[in-house]
Every structure is written in structure tokens, then in C-alpha cells.
Amino acid sequence: MTQTDLTRRDGLPDALRILLEKYPRDIWQSHRNFDGLTRFWLERHMMFRQALGQWQTDTRAFLDKGRDARAHGQQTARLGGFLINELHGHHQIEDTHYFPALSAAEPRLAKGFELLDADHHALDSELAALTDAANTHLRALGDRNADTSANAARMLAQLDGFERFLNRHLLDEEELVVPVILHHAPRL
């Protein structure tokens, strides 16, 4: 049985995959209802993955002593602030606008949109922990007596855990939302 808790699930429960079976991922871009909004939304998801990957890569380079501390701090502040703020804004729009509209269009999947909303609340606490780890690391970079490697390693561990969490959510969200849009686009 598939878990619904984001930290334990390995995909959407079967009951929420009913439209995904009709609209599998490999046909999305060629479907007549795949429009600019859907493309933009998926590109935002890719952007989140890429920003997180860049942040992880930069942190690993710092830990491997190949990245200047000042440049690393600037990159951490830039990528961290961007990723965290953009995810909050993205989720707010989904929760207040898109999910209610999509749930109304496809009531059989209302539980799926409730699941995604619960993911967003869980992601909020993960984003707060990531913010704390990044801020702790940034303060350490400015303190000559701090163990910047240990702080970077803690932040990287937080980033790596967040990556698993975020990827599971984004995949599940895509597999629920895109088929609903493809199925109901003319009425949305």
C-alpha cells in the first residue's frame, strides 16, 4: 500500500492515478491541450530542481576546498533566497487558485489535491529547517572562529534530504495536475 505521508510515500496512491493512466507522462507535450501555462508550470518545477542542484554543487565545491568562501556565501544567499521564496510563492498560488479549480474540475481526485496541500504544509517546515541551516552556515562564514566545513556539511545534509522530499512532491504533483489539465483544458 502506498503511503500518503510525503516522507514515506513512493508515489501517488493508485486511486489518484486514474487520469495518469489515460494521460501518461510520455504523451504530455504532444497532447493538444498541453499549452503555455502547463509548459510554464513544468518549467517552474524544473527551475526548482536546477536551483537546488546548483546550491548542492556549490556547497560540495566549497567542502572540497575548490570554492572561495566569499563566493560560496554569495551563491548560498542568492540560490537559497531564490529557491525558498519562489517555492513559497509557487505553493501559495497553487493552494489558493489552481488546486481548488482543478479539484472542482475533477472531483474524483479531490483527495489528491488535499494530499498536495498537505505536502505544502510539510514543505513549509522543511523550508524553515533549510533556511535555518543556510543562515547558520552564512553566519559561520563570517566568523573566523567557526567551523565552516561542519556548518557546510550540515547544510548539505539538509539540502540532500530536502531534495528527496521536494522531488517526491514535484513528481506526484505533476502526475496529478497535468493529466487533469489535459483532460479538462477546454473547460478550465
Q: What integer pLDDT is reported at residue 37 of this predicted model?
A: 85
User: Is pTM beyond 0.85 here?
Assistant: yes
Tens of pLDDT, residues 127-142: 999 999 999 999 999 9
CA-based max dimension of the chain: 61
Dist. CA 17–CA 13, nearest whole Å? 7
| Residue 1 pLDDT greater than 50, yes or no | no
Q: Which three cell numbers stand for residue 104?
A: 472542482
Please determine, for residue 41, whether its predicted confidence score (pLDDT) is greater than 80: yes
Residue 134's pLDDT is 97
The x, y and z cell numbers of residue 142, run together, are: 563570517
Q: What is the pLDDT of residue 3?
A: 58
The 10 Å Cβ neighbour count of residue 36 is: 7
Q: Work out the mean pLDDT of the chain and round it to a whole number.
A: 94
Q: Yes or no: say if 42 and 50 are a contact pair by the CB < 8 Å rule.
A: no
Q: How many whole angstroms separate alpha carbon 121 and alpha carbon 87?
A: 12
Any residues with CB less than 8 A from the CB of 152 and at least 6 apart, and which? 59, 62, 63, 72, 137
**DSSP summary character for residue 151:** H
Q: In angstroms, rounded to a whole number, what is the distance separating the alpha carbons of residues 94 and 79?
A: 22
